[in-house]
Amino acid sequence: MTELNFRRHRRLRSSKAMRSMVKETYLHKEDLIYPIFVMEGENIKNPVSSMPGVFQFSLDTLNTEVDEVVELGIPAIILFGLPAEKDAVGTGAFHDHGIVQKATRQIKERHPDIIVIADTCLCEFTDHGHCGVVEGEKVLNDASLDLLGRTAVSQAKAGADIIAPSNMMDGFVAAIRVALDEAGFEDVPIMSYAVKYASAYYGPFREAADGAPQFGDRKTYQMDPANRMEAFREAESDIEEGADFLIIKPALSYLDIIRDVRNNYTLPIVAYNVSGEYAMIKAAAQNGWIEEKPVVMETLLGMKRAGADMILTYHAKDVVRWLEEK
């Protein structure tokens, strides 16, 4: 009789303690960044219909939300702002009393230790909804850089701990670094949306942040989902220009890119688990088609396993509660 020869992988899965001993990847609350939408007005806590559990807050309702985040031990938030008025150049983005600047001051005064990350872009503030200034239907690169630099400086002045430019103009990291340094903010790091694809998964965010482009799309500045080599070029140039963190966005359909960037560069990597990814899980869970908690945990663990150090996610508050359940 021939002897069967095979590996018994199940030995290391035989009990909870054994499985726990050989576990390779962990999700920690310290990894999480929670997005918050702030808007002008009073007594506002508007539910975002395509993102159950996510709201737009006015400054007077914002404290309760941030208190909760602090209480849960989430180390960082990223702010997106909805101004009262929009114009062609997005003045609200770089105004010292813009909504993001006011929210930042208010939060840092109440909670000096939470890390406030300011999203640096113009699309929520421009009447045409593009991430840079436009001439006709063209989104101008170099003319946008100066405004982005001014936006970053006014955010840093308000007390933002990290500047996170999401606009995808070429040279934005260099322009923002110079502007910050010249204004005396050489210690404020840049978390660059280095690898950002032109994705259909941003749909719900555009409702939440009221930042949909009014004509055309973002394909002349955001990346083609078909491309992988382009991600190396984008990461490389942002590193050369002085980025301190690299964001890869979206996360779920781009886990290969997270792994590529992890294998080739040393900067901390942030996976942006975007609005459409959140909406899909929420919708399926509300229908009773999937179990929300294990699906969310598996999804985020996958992003860490792919190589992310941090995850920017709308699930953050739930995840902390789930991590602390057992």
Residue numbers annotated as active site = 196, 249
Nearer to Zn ion (CB atom), residue 33 or residue 121: 121
Nearer to ligand PBG (CB atom), residue 20 or residue 99: 99
For 278-285, the CB contacts below 8 A with 24+ separation are 278/51, 278/54, 278/204, 278/313, 278/314, 278/315, 279/50, 279/51, 279/203, 279/204, 281/315, 282/51, 282/52, 282/53
Report the C-alpha dihedral over residues 45, 49, 52, 53, rounded to 10 degrees: -10
# chain residues binding ligand PBG, by CB under 6 A: 12
Q: Using CB under 6 A, which of 275, 296, 304, 310 touches ligand PBG?
A: 275
Cα–Cα distance measured from residue 171 to residue 90, given in angstroms and rounded to the nearest whole number: 19
Q: Report, in Å, the least distance between residue 211 CB and Zn ion.
A: 6
# chain residues binding Zn ion, by CB under 5 A: 3
Cα–Cα distance measured from residue 167 to residue 259, given in angstroms and rounded to the nearest whole number: 23
Residue 299 binds ligand PBG (CB under 6 A): no
- Interaction residues for ligand PBG, span 177-206 (CB under 6 A): 202, 205-206
Q: Report, in Å, the least distance between residue 126 CB and Zn ion.
A: 9
Q: For the residues of 2-30, what is the DSSP string, one character each?
A: PPP----GGGGGSSHHHHHHT------GG
Which partner, ligand PBG, Zn ion, none, binds residue 116 by CB below 5 to 8 Å per kind? none
Q: Which residues are CB-neighbours of 44 under 8 A, at least 6 positions away?
A: 56, 57, 58, 61
Which partner, ligand PBG, Zn ion, none, binds residue 254 by CB below 5 to 8 Å per kind? none
Which partner, ligand PBG, Zn ion, none, binds residue 31 by CB below 5 to 8 Å per kind? none
Please work out, in degrees rounded to the nearest 5, the angle formed at the alpha carbon of residue 56 by the alpha carbons of 210 and 35. 90
Q: Using CB under 6 A, which of 99, 117, 118, 123 touches ligand PBG?
A: 123
Residue 210 binds ligand PBG (CB under 6 A): no
Q: Using CB under 5 A, which of 123, 179, 191, 194 touches Zn ion?
A: 123
Contacts with ligand PBG by CB under 6 A lie at 119, 121, 123, 131, 166, 202, 205-206, 211, 218, 274-275
